[in-house]
Structure 1
C-alpha cells in the first residue's frame, strides 16, 4: 500500500528550510487560492490559469516559490540515495548532462556530482526568492523588469531536478509509494510553464514522454 504524502515527505527528509508566504499579504491569499484549486480535483490545466483580475507576476511568483518548496521535498526523498558514488555527474541518463555556472564561484560551466549541483541550485534559488529587489513582498513595490526572465531561469533549472529524479531515482520513489505524488507535481509544473511559455520546449526533451499527459 502506498505511503501517505505526510509519511513520504516527512520533516527529516526535507532538503532544506522552506520559503513561506507571510499571512495577510496578497501573495499569501493567492497561494491559498491556488492550493484550494489543487485540492478541489479540478483539471490541472484550469488550475494554472491566471485568476480573473489578478496580476500575472504575482501569480508567477507564488508558483515559483511553491514549486521550489515542493521540488525541494521531492529531492529530499531521494537525497540519501544520491551520493558522489551513485551520481558522480548531474545528469539525466547518458544523453543529458547539466553543468553548474553561477558567474561567481563557478564562472564556467562545471561538471559536478548531482548532490553538489542540487545544493548549489537550491542555494541560488533561495537567494533569489529572498531578494526583495527581485521578489518584493511589500505592497506597492513593483517587480523588476527582468522578473519573468529570472523566473524562467529558475524554472528551467528546477526542471533538471525532475529529470535527475525520474531517470536516476524513480525506483526509490516507487518503493516509497510516492510516484503518484511526483507525477502530479510534474504535471502541475508542466501545465504551468506551458500556460505562460516560461521554458523553451526544447529543454523539456529529456522527459518528453511525460509531457504528453492527460
Structure 2
C-alpha cells in the first residue's frame, strides 16, 4: 500500500467510530483468528471457512462487523467525490437503482442520492450491530432466532456500497492507489457470502462480470 494511501486509511476517515470487540470475549478471540488467517496470506477461499469447533453465528457476527468497518472505510476514502450533485441517485450503473426503506421515516422504497443513502445505511447497520439483543457480546448469550436474516440483510446492503464504488468511483480508487486494497476486501466479502450462502445470486448480478474475472 502506498504511503499516501496508508495515511488515508490510518486517518480512519470513516463516518463512524469502529465497532470493536472487547479483549477477553469470545468474539475478540474469533476476530483475532480471522485476522490471523488473513495475515498469514491464506488463500481467501480458505480463510473464510468456519474454524473447527466454532459456532457459525459467532463467525458470521465477527465478519459482519469487520466488513462494516472496512467497507465504511473504503466509502470514506472516496466520499469527497460522491455528492448529491455527482450521484443524485444511489445506483450501480443505468440498470440498477437502490431505493431506501426502513421502519421509521421511509416506509416505502424511496429514491435518494448516494451519499444520503450511504449515511442512512451506515446508521442503520450501526444500530443493529450495537444492539445486544441481535449481536450479543457475552459468551453464552444466545443469538436471536432471526440473526441470520438480519446478517443477510446487512450484507446484501453492504454489497451495494461495493457496486456503487466500483461502477461510479473506481477512477478515484485507482487514483489513490487503493485498487489492490479494495479488490482484496471485495474478494474476501464475496467468498464469505458464497461460502455460507448469505446472499441471493440475483443480488450479486451487478458485479457478475468483474467477479468472474477476479474470483474464479
Q: How many residues align?
A: 214
In the alignment, is the contact (CA less than 8 A) between 2:4 and 2:176 conserved in 1? Answer: no
Q: Which residue of 1 aligns with 2:180?
A: 180
Q: Which residue of 2 aligns with 1:109?
A: 109
Q: TM-score scaled by structure 1? A: 0.97
- Measured in 2, the distance between the counterparts of 1:4 and 1:52 equals 39
Q: Which residue of 2 aligns with 1:46?
A: 46
- Measured in 2, the distance between the counterparts of 1:37 and 1:54 equals 15
- Does 2:167 correspond to 1:167? yes
- Measured in 2, the distance between the counterparts of 1:13 and 1:182 equals 15
What does the per-residue CA deviation read over 1:117-173, in whole Å, with 9 as the maximum and x for residues that have no partner?
000000000000000100011121100000000000000000000000000000000
Report the secondary structure of 2:67's partner residue.
helix
Report the secondary structure of 2:169's partner residue.
helix
- CA RMSD in angstroms, aligned pairs only: 1.2
Query: Structure 1 residue runs of 4+, over 3 Å off?
Result: 1-5
Q: TM-score scaled by structure 2? A: 0.96
CA distance 1:182–1:141, change in 2 (3 Å): same
In the alignment, is the contact (CA less than 8 A) between 1:8 and 1:176 conserved in 2? Answer: no
- Measured in 1, the distance between the counterparts of 2:144 and 2:107 equals 25
- Measured in 2, the distance between the counterparts of 1:173 and 1:191 equals 22
- How far the C-alpha of 1:107 sits from its partner, in A, is 0.3
